[in-house]
Amino acid sequence: MYQVPSWRYWLVGIVLAVGLLLALPNLFGDEPAIEVARDDRAAMDTGGQQRILGILDAAKVAHNTAYLEEDRLVVRFSAVDSQIKARDAIADAAPGEYIVALTSASRSPNWLRALGLKPMSLGLDLRGGVHFMYEVDVGAALDQALQRLAQDIRARLREERIPYQSVAVRDQTVLVVLRAEADVSAARKIIQSDDPGLTLTEEQSDGATEFVVAFTPERIKQRQDLAIEQNVTTLRNRVNELGVSEPIVARQGLDRIVVQLPGVQDPNQAIRVLGATATVEFRLVDEANNPYEAESTKRVPIGSKLYTTREGQPVLLKRDLIASGDQLTDATSGYAEGTPAVHVTLDARAGASMLKATQENLGRRMAVVYIERKRLEEGEVCNGIRSGQSCTEEEAISVATIQGVFSSRFQITGLMATEAQELALLLRAGSLATPIDLVEQRTVGPSLGQDNIEAGQMALAIGAVLTFIFLALYYRVFGVVANVVLICNVILLVAVMSLLQASLSLPGIAGIVLTIGMAADANVLIYERIREELRNGNSPQAAIHAGFDKAFSAIADSNITTLIAGAVLFVFGTGPIKGFAVTLVLGIFTSLFSAILCSRVFIDLIWGRRKRLTTLPV
C-alpha cells in the first residue's frame, strides 16, 4: 500500500496554514491614507495622535480610523479628497512640525496589524505616482575632484614653502608650474604623496619645471561611481524629507538614477527639490584688491574669484574655501532679528576651519555664496555659467564683517522665506555630489493604476479558469486535485511576497499567470507518468509511487533552467523586468513545493489508503 510519511502531512498543513495567514491581509484591500511623522525625527506618541485628530476634527475632515505604526501615525479615509484636505489642514495648523505623506493603507483588522502582517506592496503602475529618470553629470564629478586636488597641492606647497607660479586645472589634469628656485624633488614627493591613483609627468618649459598630474583610469571610474552612489543617497534623503511613502531610488545603467514616488500626483515640487543642486560656500573677502577694477578690466587677481551680490555689486572672494554645504550636519529654517535665516551646524572638520578663519580674520569680511544649478526651459536666460541646457548661478547672498569668533553653529541670512525653507531642506538632506539632469518623466494617475489592477486581475482570472477547465476535463478527479494544488500555489506565492514586501507590478501579475502555467505543467508531468505506468501493467498504488519518483528529475530540470533565467533577469534587469523576475523566481519555489509535496499528500489522502484500488480516475 502506497503511503507518504506522516511528517509530510504536518509540513504541508503548517505551511498552508501559515501561508493562508500571511496572504489574508490582501483580501481586505486598501483605502486612501496619510502617514504623519514628526519633523524632528522623534517617534509619534498618543499625545501627537490626539493633536493630529484634533486638527482634523477642527477642519471637519472625516476619517475612518487612526493608529500608530512604528514611529508614525496612520490615518485612513474613505475618499482621496478627504486625504488631501487632511494633509493641507495639518500643514496649516502645525507648519514645520510634521511630515505628512500621502499613501494608501490596508483595511486589515487590528489583530492582523498586531501580528505585523501586511499586504503586498504595489508598484507604481498599479498604485499611481510619478517616475523620474535622472542622468548624472559624471564629467562634473571628475572636475570637482581635480579642483579639490589642485587646492590640496597649493596648500601643501605653501606649507612646505616651495615657491610655485601656478596650480590650475587644464584638460582633465592639474598643471603645477614651479619657480626656478624651487626644490623639484621635494615638490615631486609632495604632489605624489604615495597615492597610487595619481600619475605624474615632468616637463621643462622656459627653465621652469612643470608637473602634469592626472588620475588613473581606475581612480576616474571609482570617483564617478562614488558620485553616483552619493547622489542616490542624497536623493533618498530628499525623498524622505518630502514625506513620500515607499519610494524607490536606484541606480540604472552607467550614469542614470531612477526615482519612483508612489502616490504623488503633482510632480512639480518633487522635481524642484530632487533636482535642485542649491548649496552654499563660505569664503573670505579679498580686501587687498578692488572688485570694481577687476569687473571693468576683466582681470581677476590670482587666488581670487569675482562674484556679484544680490544688490548687483561686485565683490572679490578668495578661492580657498572655509567650509561648504556638504560639510553641514544640520540645517533648519527660522528667523534671526526678524529676517529669514537658516541655522546651520558644521561637522568637526569644517567647524575647526571656521574657528581658525574667524580667529585670524576678526574685523575682516566673510561672504556666503549661494550656488544653484538648474535646467533651463526653452527661451529662458541664464544669468550664470551655461552648459548645454543647464545653468549654474552663483551669488554672494551675505557679506558681513566678522565681529566675533565662532565655529560650528551660526546663521545664514540674506534669504527670502521660501528660499530659507528650501535651502534648509536641501542642506539637511545633503548636497548632490555632482549635477543631475531630468531626462524622463512619467505620471501614472490613480485611476490608471486601478485600471491596470483590474486588467491584471482579469488576465489572472481568465488564465486560471481556462487552466482549471482543461485539467478537470483531461485528468478528471486528478485534475480537480491539480486545481486545488494550483490555488494553494497562488496562496503561497502571495504569502511569500507579502512577507518579503516584494513590490507587485503589472509584469509581476504576468509572472503569477506564468507561474500557474508552470505549476500545472509539473502536475501534467506527474500524471502522464502515472498513466504510462498504468499502461505498463503496474498496480494503481505502484503507478502513483513511480509517477512521482520518476517525474521529479524532469520537473527539477525544467524549473532549474527557468530559475537561472529569472535570476539573470533580476540581476541585469531594471524596473518592470526586475518585478517580473521576482515573481517568477518566487513562483518557481512555491510551484515545486505545491506540485511535489502538496499533490503527493492530497493524492495519498484520497487514494493512498485504499487497499482494493483497481483503477485511477486519471
Q: What is the mean pLDDT of residues 474-489?
A: 86
Q: Is 496 helix (H, G, I), strand (E, B) or coil?
A: helix
State the DSSP string of 582-593.
Answer: HHHHHHHHHHHI
Cα–Cα distance between 599 and 140 in angstroms, integer?
60
Query: Could you tell me if 263 and 104 are in contact, meaning their C-beta atoms sit under 8 angstroms apart?
Result: yes
Task: Lowest mean pLDDT of 6-15, 219-228, 239-248, 334-343, name the range.
Answer: 239-248
63 compared with 326, residue with greater pLDDT: 63
Q: What is the mean pLDDT of residues 473-484?
A: 85
Q: What is the mean pLDDT of residues 275-287?
A: 78
Whole-structure pTM value: 0.61
Percentage of residues in the chain having pLDDT higher than 90: 1
Q: What is the pLDDT of residue 426?
A: 62
Q: What is the pLDDT of residue 215?
A: 86
> Is the pLDDT assigned to residue 2 strictly greater than 60?
no
What would the pLDDT profile of 215-229 be if each residue is shown by its tens digit? 888 888 888 888 888
Q: What is the pLDDT of residue 449?
A: 64
> Is the pLDDT assigned to residue 159 strictly greater than 70?
yes
> Is the pLDDT assigned to residue 352 strictly greater than 70?
yes
Rounded to the nearest integer, the mean pLDDT of the chain is: 80
Q: What is the pLDDT of residue 377?
A: 60
DSSP single-letter state for residue 343: E
> Is the pLDDT assigned to residue 253 strictly greater than 80?
no
What would the pLDDT profile of 571-609 be if each residue is shown by its tens digit? 777 667 777 888 888 888 888 888 888 888 888 777 766
Q: What is the mean pLDDT of residues 528-544?
A: 80
Q: What is the pLDDT of residue 430?
A: 60
Q: CB-based contacts of 272: which residues, under 8 Å, 6+ apart?
A: 422
Most confident of 364-373, 379-388, 424-433: 364-373
How many Cβ atoms from other residues are within 10 Å of residue 516's Cβ? 22
Q: What is the pLDDT of residue 45?
A: 85
Q: What is the mean pLDDT of residues 451-474?
A: 82
Q: What is the mean pLDDT of residues 337-356?
A: 82
Q: What is the pLDDT of residue 425?
A: 66
Q: What is the pLDDT of residue 389?
A: 63
Q: What is the pLDDT of residue 260?
A: 81
Task: Lowest mean pLDDT of 134-143, 148-157, 194-203, 239-248, name the range.
Answer: 239-248
What would the pLDDT profile of 388-408 be if each residue is shown by its tens digit? 666 777 888 778 888 778 778
Percentage of residues in the chain having pLDDT higher than 70: 87
Q: What is the pLDDT of residue 80?
A: 76
125 compared with 69, residue with greater pLDDT: 69
> Is the pLDDT assigned to residue 360 strictly greater than 80?
yes
Q: What is the pLDDT of residue 428?
A: 65
Q: What is the pLDDT of residue 246?
A: 63
Q: What is the pLDDT of residue 119?
A: 85
Most confident of 173-177, 272-276, 346-350: 173-177
Q: What is the pLDDT of residue 446?
A: 60
Q: What is the pLDDT of residue 552?
A: 79
Q: What is the mean pLDDT of residues 547-563?
A: 81
How many Cβ atoms from other residues are within 10 Å of residue 384's Cβ? 16
DSSP single-letter state for residue 285: B
Sorting pLDDT into bands at 50, 70 and 90, what band is 380? low
Cα–Cα distance between 2 and 523 in angstroms, integer?
19
If phi > 0 it is left, if psi is from -120 to 50 it is alpha, else beta; for residue 194 that is left
Q: What is the pLDDT of residue 616?
A: 73
Q: CB-based contacts of 513: which residues, under 8 Å, 6+ apart?
A: 459, 460, 463, 464
Sorting pLDDT into bands at 50, 70 and 90, what band is 161? confident
Domains of the chain: 6-24+445-608 (1.20.1640.10), 30-106 (3.30.70.260), 139-219 (3.30.70), 277-414 (3.30.1360)
